[in-house]
């Protein structure tokens, strides 16, 4: 596996120099953030990003995300132009050495939490999803904002979009996803990029809007839409794992064995009885997921893709982008490295597995 870390570009308070000091850190996961959704990322812009990352002694091989324009998800006639632009961006990324592109197909809202700074018992602050708080959130107000969501909509536009998607049957979203994949995956294959869809987070419909990348049956269906190694998953343990119907160790092993996990987000969540959840520190004892078992199964399958520690809590007084501070994610990275090194020793280096 190749250990990676998300970096939000020059605006990120977590600098590349700090990331470089995390033991065994290899790859930066980043994106071009100042091009509006749907427009082509130029070769020059990508090259500049690559050079900045490389001059800090790191590699730039994974993009998270190239966002999919809403017109593609909605299946509007304008989608063809946006798909063409998407393919152009992929070609430019490949030409600059990018090997994996993460994206999602969630209508309007990306990952959703009800509070970003919930204080846990130990004084750290975490992202949480509480059902009672969810009921108080009004997506039609146009005022909801979370980091990671597209901020470019005006209030009225956002409310309109929500209303529109509430009428959309799930099957229509599937058709639009298939249309997108049939155009994009051949280009990804041709230029050597693995596309990696991120699961819906949380993995069930919220606000009355359809969500489809949610569970084993749907992941199977997704992978069959275009049956190619270039059509893969960003297997996010925390997103899929916040629904108790997803058995994470089994799923991770199944899709790794199929060679369909180019990229993995590793984090833990503590499931609550009413279906809500709290994000926890990475280690197994802190949440509901068995991290050693997840990594053991990946190792057994000779996993050689990219892994990044996902959301961390805010600890030691750090402030910054919720979920994306330095300290807790760095602890997560070291935890992953420790487990992987142990697996290599005890279970023997798997001949397929690239070492760290």
Q: Is residue 268 within the footprint of ligand DNO (CB under 6 A)?
A: no
In whole angstroms, the minimum distance from the beta carbon of 146 to ligand DNO comes to 9
Q: Is residue 112 within the footprint of ligand DNO (CB under 6 A)?
A: no
Three-state SS sequence of 96-108: CCCCEEEEECCCC
Rounded CA gap, 274 and 41, in Å? 43
- Selected from 262, 312, 323, 332, the binder of ligand DNO by CB under 6 A is 323
The tokens of 341 are what?
Answer: 């090194």
- Selected from 54, 88, 110, 189, the binder of ligand DNO by CB under 6 A is 110
- Selected from 46, 83, 87, 102, the binder of ligand DNO by CB under 6 A is 102
The SS3 call for residue 60 is strand
Q: Closer to ligand DNO at the Cβ: 98 or 343? A: 98
Q: Is residue 4 within the footprint of ligand DNO (CB under 6 A)?
A: no
DSSP 64-125: E--PPPHHHHHT-TTHHHHHHHHHHHHHHHHHTT--EEEEE--SS--S--SEEEEEPTTS-E
Q: Is residue 318 within the footprint of ligand DNO (CB under 6 A)?
A: no
Stretch that binds ligand DNO, among 103-111, 249-257, 279-287, 289-297 (CB under 6 A): 103-111
Phi, psi of 271, rounded to the nearest 5 degrees: -80, 140
Binding to ligand DNO (CB under 6 A) within 173-212 occurs at: 198
Number of residues interacting with ligand DNO: please give it, by CB under 6 A.
12
Burial class (CB in 10 A: 0-12, 13-18, 19+), 330: buried
Phi, psi of 277, rounded to the nearest 5 degrees: -160, 160
Active-site residue set: 198, 236, 265, 310-311, 324
In whole angstroms, the minimum distance from the beta carbon of 311 to ligand DNO comes to 6
Q: Closer to ligand DNO at the Cβ: 158 or 196? A: 196
Q: Which residues bind ligand DNO (CB under 6 A)?
A: 64-65, 102-104, 110-111, 148, 198, 265, 311, 323
């Amino acid at each position: 596996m190749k250990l990676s870390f998300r970096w939000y570009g020059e605006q990120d308070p977590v600098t590349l120099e700090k990331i470089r000091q995390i033991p065994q850190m290899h790859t930066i996961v980043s994106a071009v953030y100042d091009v509006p959704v749907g427009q082509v990322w130029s070769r020059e812009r990508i090259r500049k990003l690559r050079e900045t990352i490389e001059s800090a002694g790191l590699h730039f091989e994974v993009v998270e995300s190239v966002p999919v324009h809403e017109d593609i998800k909605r299946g509007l006639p304008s989608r063809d132009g946006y798909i063409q632009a998407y393919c152009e961006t992929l070609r430019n990324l490949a030409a600059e050495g990018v090997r994996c592109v993460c994206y999602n197909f969630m209508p309007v809202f990306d990952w959703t939490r009800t509070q970003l700074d919930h204080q846990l018992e130990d004084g750290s602050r975490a992202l949480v999803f509480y059902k009672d708080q969810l009921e108080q959130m009004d997506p039609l107000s146009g005022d909801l904002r979370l980091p990671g969501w597209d901020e470019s909509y005006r209030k009225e536009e956002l409310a309109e979009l929500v209303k529109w998607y509430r009428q959309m049957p799930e099957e229509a979203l599937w058709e639009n996803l298939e249309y997108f994949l049939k155009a994009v995956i051949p280009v990804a294959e041709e230029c050597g990029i693995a596309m990696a869809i991120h699961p819906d987070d949380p993995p069930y419909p919220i606000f009355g809007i359809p969500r489809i990348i949610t569970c084993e049956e749907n992941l199977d269906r997704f992978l069959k839409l275009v049956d190619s190694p270039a059509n893969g998953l960003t297997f996010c343990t925390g997103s899929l794992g916040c629904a108790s119907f997803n058995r994470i160790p089994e799923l991770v092993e199944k899709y790794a064995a199929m060679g369909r996990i180019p990229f993995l987000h590793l984090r833990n969540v503590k499931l609550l009885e009413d279906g809500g959840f709290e994000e926890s520190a990475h280690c197994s004892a802190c949440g509901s997921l068995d991290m050693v078992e997840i990594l053991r199964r990946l190792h057994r399958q000779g996993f050689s893709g990219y892994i990044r520690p996902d959301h961390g809590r805010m600890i030691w007084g750090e402030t910054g982008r919720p979920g994306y501070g330095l300290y807790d994610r760095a602890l997560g990275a070291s935890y992953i490295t420790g487990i992987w090194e142990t697996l290599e020793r005890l279970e023997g280096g798997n001949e397929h597995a690239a070492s760290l």
